[in-house]
Structure 1
């Protein structure tokens, strides 16, 4: 058992929430992200699960403590089913007077408040169950006198755990076995045998094997093989390393043995697995969803709050789950993705996303255009031909569009154009380059219209956007532009019609200002960019040179 020590003098422990979960043998696996310290108390039945990938046995009377940010997975229940409480509580450090007054502070990320262990001792079970049931019955009482009583119930339950888990963990064989499993998860390439694991735990191989199976439900050999095989699968899906490198990084010393075991366990050779799975991937795209759809791959989830809404992708987006601008870890885990694809917007959550599925970050780079993006994603999901087909198709359409403009007397390279967005009731504006949506790729790359000097600086530097500029600086970016494109994301050109500054622009005097709707022109995916090219060509020809 584990030695639990609560820092009750320097920390406050408060009740957050509690729920009761029942699983039948027919249930598919469940995934639950833990946002606060959480006790997982099994009340009936048997099953199996994982905490941050570490396998645990879920049996009536077992209790586990998970830290904030952990991923709890329930693989399923055995014939009699499985039921457990999840009790979440918050720990806040009480600031001392030296820390600028008395108050509450969140613990530092690296500060160890509770030392975690796989299984906690909770006997006698009847008393433990009674305390949990009482807490659950009053879970809605969080304020007033009843809320205070609930707070006391939590303290009593934590005291109960401390009282029953006061043994020295380093002298406990089960704890030693658990520690060796932690070492195995930290680096699966370093430990090659059960004998090495037993040596880490400082006990004999026979006793080690018995305790290992008691803790995890698996033999050490099967557990290590499964762990390494899962790591190999992840690497096969998200990297283009050769098979030797993948096998070695997954802890297999012999690539031929790895290939043979892989085929035995998965049912196909590694190369066939890659080809098949990359074409059948369940992907959550926090970014690049439009690129996936342009290649015929519909993600199961995406950040549609920010990046969804293009008029040209509405039908395809209809069945995609919106995981939110601040992505919901529970929603993502519930979708059971094979791959999570993202840019660097939410890179601080990479570790948590990686617990759910292999996660690939393709950082935003203002100097890397849509061609490079679609090629990167195409290579990742084994659709390089689809990426090249888009590039070739767009280039052909762009060539035809430029020819049509020339025939209409519009020579792109001779005519500068500026793309802006009005803000702040017309008091401010943003200006865009060729690689930040808002039709920039179609205007500058596709149609070949020239960028004024200030805009060209944005493009060449990779900045691509300047926001919140005072409106009196608009002539710096648009005074000499023959064409002015205004993307209406809530504020249109009607705000500007009576202003001398606006009416003095060459594009306004020549009636060559185009108001572009957000749903058609704000987006920067291959499908939208193709449509924008066609629409802009029609607009320019209709208005004339």
Structure 2
């Protein structure tokens, strides 16, 4: 009997052998130079911050960063003021020369340099396990350490492979998103979506969120809700039929998800889009008027007055300080929108008994998002692009005009009350900063950023006020805390105030309180007019 032997050639295989792992907790300003040897070096940062310099290129180090140095690659490390904590692992790369023998290589692994290591919690689990087993003497514990180290490298190398093939992965997920748009009614799970894209659930979810900003099922439900909105307005179909058509198997679950997403029930959404809805939106009237909606009532305050700039003289007034729900007899709204910041005056639970009520989480500086939300609630989404475009055109033209007249001059905005003085923040925060410093391009006085930081405003003491040598000052007065008429203006008689350059040069401009202490698009437009009138 003849025997046939089939020989399979085994391709050379690399083996990574860890030699040493050390934990370093270094103080501020520590620095060291590592000369490149025959081994690779993996650095995993666990705390503090610093800098790694490799071949003349600097890399920022902070918690969650990993860096792999190839053999013979020298590097310098330096800690910042908060110190630097990191693990350092050295390892050799071996390759099979022939069956049963290995030779050492002095070349880099498949990837090196600044490494992806997310989620970092998984990375640090591997590293800490290896560190705990560093002094292993028995064979099984040493083997366990070896296995953990291979798992760590596999974790890092797989992410590198994903980054290298990122274009293909991204394209696969984008195609998956298109498929969801076509088949949003189907019953989907994340595992099904990932399998269809030929990748792991973790990689699929991470890439999906990078593209859309949402997790897959949240994105899918958002698509279903958006389609349900269209059907609510285009048809008279029952909620049962609409919910099943868009992919919800249960009408009550659909209604709950709709309210969680939109803020009101599907039925109320449909009712709000009919003509002639009567809306009460205290101190959000600016947005209503911008959308072409006249509120059934306008809000007022005994000390502040009402928003005169809106031109709602014919609209009845509701005084926050004096009127109650009972005073609305005969003027009941169909729908109430409350600003989340108004709860001290208007309880959502109580007003909800008068009419369906939407309690808005006011986005403040992001007035465009507020405008879009209200437009969606009230059936005016088509008006939004025009409103925003008109504002941006006006701001752009004003910015160009002011650039010629106030170049190099500094500006600040102050609010005075009987309780003290407030300085309003820079380009990103507050009622005034985004308009003055971002939209109009004016230069904030250095104290604006120094004192306010990430806050919308900061209390400013007489000592700091004396240092506010801005070229131009916009001021407004809050009467709410005054016990007698004019108390909030006492600061104007102080020596610190009278000595300011803007005061001496008559470059102080008093502006309307409710116009400037407001986030509405029409309010911002009026601020632009006020600035142009005195500075252009």
TM-score range, shorter chain: 0.3 to 0.5
Please say which structure displays the higher CA radius of gyration: 2
When normalised by structure 1's length, the TM-score is 0.43
When normalised by structure 2's length, the TM-score is 0.44
The structure showing larger relative contact order (alpha-carbon pairs under 8 Å, at least 6 residues apart) is 1
